Amino acid sequence: DGFEVVEVVEEAGLTLIALRPKLDGGDFSIVRLAFDGARLARMEFVDGLDQTTAIEFFDVEINSELDDALFRFEVPRGVNVLGGAR
């Protein structure tokens, strides 16, 4: 909801979508997403200093089974947890 689509193009088998924030003063001046079909292949963020951060995704598995143990948090010794569920 916070972004508007400013460009959609096809390039090298990818669908490239450029998004611009609707409100000024955000962290990014533009966000670009690259899709290979339904799979997100790359994200690019351009910040207020015109620097670009690019993240590429490889070997993505969609809807794979994940062990519940991957999401169990154990509080390390000597650490206090503030807030959270009671």
Q: What is the pLDDT of residues 17-34, one digit of tens each?
A: 999 999 887 889 999 999
User: What does pTM read for this prediction?
Assistant: 0.69
Least confident of 5-9, 28-32, 82-86: 82-86
Whether 21 and 32 have beta carbons less than 8 Å apart is answered as no
Phi, psi angle pair for 78, to nearest 5°: 85, 10
**Residue written as token pair 């009671």:** 86
Q: What is the pLDDT of residues 41-63, one digit of tens each?
A: 999 999 989 999 999 999 888 88
